[in-house]
Amino acid sequence: MDAAVPDTGSPVLDGSLAPSADVPGGLLEGMKVPAYVVDAEGLIIAANGAALRLLHRPAAELLGHDAHDLLHRDSHGRPLPRSRCEMRDALLAERTGHNDLGWFARGDGSLLGLSWFLTPYALDPDRPGALVMLYQRHEPAGHREDGEEHATALTELDRLALLAETTTQLTSTLDVTEALHRLAALTVPLLADWAVVDLLTENDEVRRALVVQHKDGVLIERADLQGPMPPLPQESPMPLSRALRGAASSIASAATYQGPPDSGIAVEQHRLFEETGMHSAAIAPIRGLRDVLGALTLGRAARPDAFTASDLPLLEDVTRRAGLALDNARLYQRQRKVSETMQRHLLPQMPTIPGLQMTARYVAAPQASQVGGDWYDAFPLMDGATALAIGDVVGHDLDAAGGMAQVRNMLRAFAWSHPEAPSDVVTQLDQAVMHIAEVPMATVLLARLTSGDDGLWRLRWTNAGHPPPLLVDHDGRTRFLTGGHGILLGTGTTRPREDAVVTLPPRSTLVLYTDGLVESTRHSIDDGLDRLRKHAASLARRPLDPFSDALLDRARPTDNDDDVAFLALRTPDPAP
């Protein structure tokens, strides 16, 4: 575990990381529980040997690093958005926090489920921080640290606790994949060594959605055993086929699928038992409110005790709760897909403008309703100019999407019928928003794009509370177009609006975007704008579509739950 540590004043002692001079020397090394201390920004400033061993990391990988970025993961091993991190919320709020199951990335690449407890710890009056203690989740009845299992029945209290935790865990997410992983974590290794979930699709096809194994103290997803399954037979008496048709739960063994298979599913079950080494399995249907959604198979391989009929009522109680949660999650995802489709259909196709390249993107929010008030637009005007617009209506729901459509359509009408300065059009739009639109507030940037006799393109714009456009020259020089800035729509303020004008250099790229591309819960808006500028500069010579895709991927903060509208155009080479 010995490793070189940067010069931070915290030497390595006996394979552990000694506290810095500001942390009482005995605080961590006197604790047997794995523990580390973070400052107010979440940087690890001390950790004890127990934490190093548990996390399988040398001291140099912890000291001075951001604990969230380094350690915190979701149940799939993916980086956890800061907005969803309960530990970070407790740290920033300077309050005590705890969770019975959090996922941590170990130095060897494995994923470890741990209980954690965080309590504020002031390094001095001006330096708040926190002490974090990690606990191995308690081993369930029937599990021993030496890896041997023995049959010890769950008490009634254990059963009630499992059902209560199942309800809490599964109803607190509307993501089907997340719900399935939580279901596996609840039942393995408490009830079995393996958890297998088979789901029925809307077309009555069968998909093996999840296979999870408990090995060496961690849950391992077996992607090689997952995937599409053969059709569901309507007459097969085999346990999984019956469960997928909604029949009562049953017990199976390796011998159950040893005979001649009566269906393709039976063939896959035979393969499952062989690959996993399961000698006993309990299989129960997962029922929704109206239909059978799938089946849960719990299998035992390492532990010698076989399932009995007395285990089935508990399994059915678990799957009953799982069915309700999956039903809700599927309904939510279906509605979310409809909402996102509606949002995309509300957004226009880009016009073809001779001499210019133009592209646009809409990226839905990773969380929440997946639909919002972000929009872009581009359309020709009666005098031959081209109007460019981008905006954001307050809110992240169907009301915001509906309000967005109202604002966009009114702006189109005003800009077409009154080919005036953008500031005059936006002033008219502001009055309409105040009196006839069902929109609380909105930002908008409206521009007129024209080509002169010299072959150069000129942009005239006004900005109502929106992030400034970014202009990127072909050589990577960048500048934000901060002129023409005024107050957002819907405030009732009658302050005059202004226009600004710029000549776009040949082969330059203009980027219009909404705040979801630059706003972050952990950094200032200036940091987000600077990140956008640097990435855009580095991509300046890429073709426009790859430029746009890469910029969205690199510049968008990982902890932002907002949607993003994005419009980019590129001017042609200089005239010969």
Q: Are 360 and 379 a contacting pair, CB within 8 Å?
A: no
Helix (H) or strand (E) holding 135: strand 129-136
Q: Within 10 Å of residue 258's Cβ, how many Cβ atoms?
A: 10
pLDDT for 555 beyond 60: yes
Q: What is the three-class DSSP state of 13?
A: strand
pLDDT band (50, 70, 90) for residue 164: confident
Average pLDDT for 300-318: 91
Percentage of the chain modeled with pLDDT above 90: 47
* 446-472 pLDDT per residue, tens: 999 999 888 899 999 999 999 999 999
Average pLDDT, the chain: 84
pLDDT for 152 beyond 80: no
pLDDT for 97 beyond 70: yes
Across the beta sheet with 470-472, what order do the strands follow? 357-363, 564-570, 509-513, 470-472, 478-480
pLDDT for 490 beyond 90: no
Residues 6+ apart with CB under 8 A from 294: 197, 198, 199, 200, 209, 244, 285, 286, 326
pLDDT for 272 beyond 90: yes
Rounded Cα gap, residues 185 and 105, in angstroms: 16
Q: What is the CATH number of domain 12-136?
A: 3.30.450.20
pLDDT for 508 beyond 90: yes
Let me know if the fold of 12-136 is the same as that of 156-334: yes
Percentage of the chain modeled with pLDDT above 70: 86
Please give the model's pTM, rounded to 2 decimal places: 0.51
| Six-digit token string for 442 | 């909105």
The residue ranking higher by pLDDT, 561 or 507, is 507
The residue ranking higher by pLDDT, 435 or 195, is 195
pLDDT for 301 beyond 90: yes
Q: What is the CATH number of domain 156-334?
A: 3.30.450.40
Rounded Cα gap, residues 485 and 446, in angstroms: 11
Specify the amino acid at residue 197. Answer: V
Which of 563, 532, 562, 560 is closest to 81 using CA atoms? 560
The residue ranking higher by pLDDT, 94 or 22, is 94
The CB-based long-range contact list for 425-432 (8 Å cut-off, 24+ gap) reads 426/462, 426/464, 426/486, 426/489, 426/497, 427/496, 427/497, 429/489, 430/464, 430/489, 430/490
Q: Are 384 and 350 a contacting pair, CB within 8 Å?
A: no
Rounded Cα gap, residues 472 and 149, in angstroms: 64
E strand spans, 157-260:
194-200, 206-215, 218-221, 227-228, 250-253
* 58-95 pLDDT per residue, tens: 988 899 999 999 999 887 778 888 888 889 888 888 88
DSSP code, position 290: S
The residue ranking higher by pLDDT, 221 or 174, is 221
- What's the pLDDT score for residue 336? 64
pLDDT for 20 beyond 50: no
- What's the pLDDT score for residue 268? 95
DSSP code, position 306: P
pLDDT band (50, 70, 90) for residue 147: very low
The runs of H, that is alpha helices, within 176-259 are 176-187, 239-244
pLDDT band (50, 70, 90) for residue 338: low
Average pLDDT for 468-493: 94
pLDDT band (50, 70, 90) for residue 21: very low
Helix (H) or strand (E) holding 170: helix 156-171
| Six-digit token string for 56 | 């399988």
What are the extents of the domains in the chain? 12-136, 156-334, 347-570
What are the phi and psi torsion angles at 73 (to 5°)? -140, 165
The answer to which of 295-309, 347-361, 536-550 has the lowest mean pLDDT is 347-361
pLDDT band (50, 70, 90) for residue 535: very high
DSSP code, position 171: H
The residue ranking higher by pLDDT, 437 or 94, is 94
Domain 347-570 CATH assignment equals 3.20.20.80:
no
Distances, alpha carbon 481 to alpha carbons 160, 370, 467, 509, in Å: 61, 30, 9, 12
Which of 106, 524, 174 is closest to 532 using CA atoms? 524
The runs of H, that is alpha helices, within 286-421 are 312-346, 398-417
DSSP code, position 455: S
Average pLDDT for 308-318: 91
pLDDT for 484 beyond 90: yes
- What's the pLDDT score for residue 225? 94
pLDDT for 270 beyond 60: yes
Write the DSSP assignment of 368-401 as a string of letters. TTS--SEEEEEEE-TTS-EEEEEEEES-SSHHHH
- What's the pLDDT score for residue 215? 86
Which one of 97-106, 353-362, 398-407 scores highest in mean pLDDT? 353-362
pLDDT for 175 beyond 70: yes
